[in-house]
A and B are shown apart, each in its own frame.
Chain A
């Protein structure tokens, strides 16, 4: 079956520090990855995505790195702010999967303290 998981269920960082959230996957056919942010009481919100033909993609204060050799995905948040406190999910899809279907990891709770 699909396996999109996270190394750490919780992460606490100080405001202003950089955060790194990790995700492992096991399917070598995985070709598209997404990071979502879910604040308390809200639905998941798209942050950034990356395709398997890329190693790195940057957004505003966020960078996603993809290491296909070890099947590892990470989300880096620069200068973490209190508003970044949320659960972060990685999701993937792969060649041969049902069109449109995503497979989600269980999430990492990021807590930012002053």
Chain B
């Protein structure tokens, strides 16, 4: 089974702090994704990566950056956390190539910014 793990289930940070959210997958997937999930807004794509050191902006990249130094690990960085970044953050991974688009999700990190 595909396993996607996220470093924290719950996180509380203060405004202005730099925040790192880590995601690791164990199935050698090329693609990795970061979403945020807010009530009534569904899943919104922040960033994704289709290879090591490669990244693409999603729909809401502002205020975020990402890092993919190793294939299995994809980090989401909040350079200076703000209260409007309080949300559930979900990481996902998938195989590369057309026809293998199924994404497998981690359990999520619920981030609260005070």
Contacts from A to B (Cβ < 8 Å): 32, 34, 36, 41-46, 49, 89, 91, 93, 98-102, 104-107
Contacts and interface: CB of A to CB of B under 8 A. Distances in A.
B48 A100 contact: yes
A91 B56 CA distance: 20
Given A99-B31, A100-B103, 8 more contacts: A32-B101, A42-B107, A43-B92, A43-B108, A100-B50, A100-B94, A100-B101, A105-B42
B42 A44 contact: no
B106 to A, nearest CB: 5
Listed from nearest, the 5 A-B pairs whose CB atoms lie closest are A43-B105, A106-B42, A100-B31, A104-B43, A44-B105
B45 A106 contact: no
B29 to A, nearest CB: 9
| SS of A interface (majority) | loop
Contacts of A99: 31, 50, 96-98
Given A43-B90, A44-B90, A102 B101 contact: yes
Given A43-B90, A43-B106, A104 B42 contact: yes
Nearest to A103: B45
B111 to A, nearest CB: 14
